Structure 1
Amino acid sequence: MKKNKIFSIFTFLFIAFSFISCDNEPIDPTLLAQIAANSSSNGNNSSTGSFTANIDGVNFTAESVAASMLNVPTNGNILSIVGVKSSGEYIAIQITNPTIGTFVANNNSNPLQAVTLSYRQNTTTSDIFSAYNYFAATPAPTGSVTISSINLTTKTISGSFYFDGYLMNSATPVKNITNGVFNNITYITQ
Structure 2
Amino acid sequence: MKNKMLRWIFFVFLGCSFIACENEPLEGEFIVDDGSEGAFTAVVDGETFSASTTSAQMNDGALIISGIDGGGNVVALTFGAVGECTYDLSSINSFGVFATSATPDNPFSSVGISGGSGSATIIDFNVNGQTVSGAFSFNGIREVTDGNGNTSTEVVVITEGIFNSIPFEVISGEPTTVSCDEINGGGGSGGDPVLEDPEDSFYALVDGEEFVDISFVSEVIVVGGENVIKVLATNDIGAKVEFFIPESLGVGTFEMQPIFDGATLVGSYSDGETSENLTSNPGTITFTEFSEITGKLNATFSFTATDPLGSDPTVVEITQGEFNIDYKPDSGTAENVFIATIDGEDYVPTSIDITKQPINGVFAVNLTTQNADTNQGVSLSFPLDIEVGSYAMAPFQETGNEKVGIYNPNIGSSILFKSDENGTLTINSYQYSNGVVVGSFSYVASDPLDNDMTTYEVIGSFVITIP
The TM-score normalised by the length of structure 1 is 0.68
Structure with bigger helix share is 1
Structure 1 residues 173 and 133: CA distance shift in structure 2, 3 A: farther
1:121-136 pair list within 5 angstroms:
121-124=100-103, 126-134=105-113
Contact 1:36 1:84 survives alignment (8 Å): no
Superposed CA offset, 1:119-161 (max 9, x none):
011145533100025455xxxx610110111110001110001
Shift of 1:52: 0.3
Shift of 1:58: 0.3
Contact 1:158 1:184 survives alignment (8 Å): yes
1:160 matched to 2:149: no
**CA distance in structure 2 between the aligned counterparts of 1:22 and 1:124, rounded to whole angstroms:** 17
**CA distance in structure 2 between the aligned counterparts of 1:189 and 1:125, rounded to whole angstroms:** 25
Structure 2 unaligned residues grouped into runs of 5+: 28-36, 145-150, 172-467
Equivalent residue for 1:67, pick from 56, 60, 84: 56
**CA distance in structure 1 between the aligned counterparts of 2:166 and 2:111, rounded to whole angstroms:** 25
Shift of 1:101: 1.1
Equivalent residue for 1:185, pick from 166, 171, 179: 166
- Residue 118 of structure 1 aligns with an amino acid whose one-letter code is V
**CA distance in structure 2 between the aligned counterparts of 1:107 and 1:35, rounded to whole angstroms:** 25
Correspondence for 1:80? 64
Correspondence for 2:217? none
Correspondence for 1:176? 157
Shift of 1:116: 1.7
Structure 1 residues 123 and 36: CA distance shift in structure 2, 3 A: farther
Correspondence for 2:427? none
Shift of 1:87: 2.4
Contact 1:134 1:168 survives alignment (8 Å): no
Shift of 1:94: 0.4
Shift of 1:38: 3.3
Shift of 1:36: 4.4
**CA distance in structure 2 between the aligned counterparts of 1:121 and 1:163, rounded to whole angstroms:** 16
Structure 1 residues 168 and 156: CA distance shift in structure 2, 3 A: same
Superposed CA offset, 1:52-83 (max 9, x none):
00000100000000101111xxxxx0000010
Structure 1 unaligned residues grouped into runs of 5+: 1-20, 72-76, 109-113
Equivalent residue for 1:34, pick from 18, 26, 30: 18
> What number of residue pairs does the alignment pair up?
152
Shift of 1:162: 0.7
The TM-score normalised by the length of structure 2 is 0.30
**CA distance in structure 2 between the aligned counterparts of 1:23 and 1:174, rounded to whole angstroms:** 16
- Residue 50 of structure 1 aligns with an amino acid whose one-letter code is A
Contact 1:26 1:130 survives alignment (8 Å): no
Structure with higher Rg: it is 2
Correspondence for 1:13? none
SS of aligned partner of 1:182: strand
Identity of counterpart residues, as a percentage? 26
Structure 1 residues 25 and 163: CA distance shift in structure 2, 3 A: farther
Structure 1 residues 158 and 134: CA distance shift in structure 2, 3 A: same
Q: CA RMSD in A?
A: 2.8
